[in-house]
Amino acid sequence: PGEELCEEVGFLRGHGTYVKDGMLVAAVAGVVERVNKLVSVRPYNARYGGEVGDVVVCRVVDVGAKRWKVDVNARQKGVLLLSSINLPGGEQRRRTAEDQLNMRQFYVEHDVLSAEVQTFFADGAMSLHTRSLKYGKLGCGTLVTVAPSLVRRAKQHFHTFDFGVATIFGMNGFIWVGIATALSPKADAMDVGSTRDGGIGEEAQESDASFHVRERTCRVCNAIVLLDRFFMPVAAAPVHALYEKSIEAGMSPWDMLLPENAILLADGLRASGVLGVRVADE
């Protein structure tokens, strides 16, 4: 706060800025965003606002009439309508009263889902949908929470690392880290581990859950926590770089977050220049 951004002449004042002595000044600590001539500052700790088309990871908090309420890390709970999900087997038909009675067979409280923002209601609440096999219920993994402002917007938010760990970088700051299953040379990252009804990781609950797989998953989770702790962009490239650096340094996953080790890894990441790189499949 208080840092001068640019001269007022030729620019428009956006959220998180004010004018002082002919200069645009930041009113909050955050990320500077420029859209043409509009200059704004997005706070680090702001709640998720959401845009249509965003990939999000959410948790079911209530099952109601024809809808589920989900926590999307926003000011209001998101809404997932019964008409906005895939029926078992991909069946295409109108939802009936029987489907309403069987809603708990699809999702129940505390289930973690991947979804996409479809639209907004008049009161500002988000309407989500899971009408794709890459969306749905998530299992056999870990949910990591970071500041939404740190998650980079990318063409692909489903990423599978070459060491067998799949991640979903939700724009709302919820990041899913799980086991990559059904891996094939031609498999797209969004389809890795997906079930016939959508989702990632459910097929791996009784397989591929060895100690080494869980250790790699834990190392990725701690890499994401470290990026959030040092206010660094959260994306596939920095996570992979921290993963490799921790192995080169001989650190175990549970030692990565020790203060002295965390500072060492963060300094190495800044020096590597990875933070300015965007991989093609992010």
Write out pLDDT tens, residues 248-266.
999 999 999 999 999 999 9
| Average pLDDT score over residue span 157-172 | 93
Asked whether the predicted pLDDT for residue 208 surpasses 80, the reply is no
Angle of the 236-248 helix axis to the 211-229 helix axis, nearest 10: 110
Six-digit token string for 85: 């999900």
Q: What is the dihedral of CA 96, 97, 98, 99, to 10 degrees?
A: 60
pTM for the full predicted model: 0.80
Please state which of the ranges 121-135, 161-175, 207-221 shows the lowest mean pLDDT: 207-221
Please state which of the ranges 40-49, 116-125, 178-187 shows the lowest mean pLDDT: 178-187
Residue 184: pLDDT band by 50, 70, 90 thresholds?
very low
Asked whether the predicted pLDDT for residue 218 surpasses 80, the reply is yes
